[in-house]
Amino acid sequence: MIKNKTKSTIIKSIQQIINTYQGHGFKIKQILGDQQFKCIRLHMELQGINLNIMGRDEHVPGIKRFICKVKEWVHAIVNKLPFVTLPHRLVIDIIYNTMFWLNCFPHKDSIHLALSPCTIVTGSTIDYDKHCKLQFST
């Protein structure tokens, strides 16, 4: 989550992600983004990263499908909760929870058939005693 959409905030957030990947041996060569990221193109080029900005009505099909999947999971959780309106912080935590679980299991089209995206990028794995005690809902 980022607090605002200023150039400095976007650069700081993207840099944190890049550092996480590079810290685990990955080399970032290209980033796909929408018009919102156009302002950081020069900064990325100085790091040797190609920032590919999509056109206004252009979408990357795989990313579009993943966003739809995240929204479906979030809607499923929200519909289980007994609230009419949700506090902003709760919405953020629901999205974090959804992303955590989507990235905890191997994807069929991933770079590795047995390792989850979470394990590949961070080296961490699911711990049943830590992660599976409580369900995120009622």
Query: Does the structure show a pLDDT above 70 at 6?
Result: yes
- Cα separation of 106 and 116, whole Å? 4
> Please, what is the Cα angle at 66 between 64 and 69, to 5 degrees?
115
Query: Does the structure show a pLDDT above 80 at 133?
Result: no
The residue among 136, 125, 60, 52 whose CA lies nearest residue 94 is: 136
Residue 70: the pLDDT is 94
The H or E element containing residue 31 is strand 30-33
Percent of the chain with pLDDT over 90: 43
List pLDDT tens digits, range 78-124. Answer: 998 888 899 999 999 999 999 999 988 888 877 888 888 888 888 88
| Partner residues linked to 40 by β-bridges | none
Binned at pLDDT 50, 70 and 90, residue 51 comes out as very high
Residue 138: the pLDDT is 52
Torsional class of 48: left (φ above 0), alpha (ψ -120 to 50), beta (otherwise) = left
Residue 13: the pLDDT is 94
Mean pLDDT of 58-87: 89
Q: Which amino acid is at 26?
A: F
